[in-house]
Amino acid sequence: MSPSVRNVIAWILQALLAAMFIFSGGHKLMDLPGTMKMFEGLGLPGWFAVLIGGAEVLGGIGLLVPRTVRPAAMGLIIIMLGAVYMHATKIPGGLAKGVPAIVALVLLVVVLMLRSRTEARTV
């Protein structure tokens, strides 16, 4: 795959994921009492809702800034691993309702691979 095609695909995925995470995190923060209650119902502390919502918004913004794409993707991968785990173990509906989290997780890994620094560089 040529570097320009790789770059275009990465930017498209980054923009889509950024929109998704900014929306999702913003929704969590705008309905904070409901989100905290939901997190507490899953056995998590209520303040964790603030942490996850804020991290999703910041991670989404980070996906749009070239210098922070990799750390943002890595942080969001950790959040999505947690989301997939919660869907598999505690959230009613199981992994069937966790498909968006699984898709986001896979796409974040693809972005991380497309933006890897291990590609050959010319000197």
The string of pLDDT tens digits covering residues 95-106 is 888 999 999 999
* Residue 114 pLDDT exceeds 70: yes
| Average pLDDT over all residues of the chain | 93
- What DSSP string runs through 72-111? HHHHHHHHHHHHHHHHHHTSTTGGGTTHHHHHHHHHHHHH
d(CA 42, CA 116) in angstroms, rounded, equals: 35
Domain definitions of the chain by residue range: 3-114
Q: Which two tokens stand for residue 80?
A: 């999505």
d(CA 40, CA 52) in angstroms, rounded, equals: 13
Mean pLDDT of 3-9: 92
Mean pLDDT of 1-28: 95
At residue 92 the predicted structure's pLDDT band, cuts being 50, 70 and 90, is: confident
Q: Which residue has the higher pLDDT, 122 or 18?
A: 18
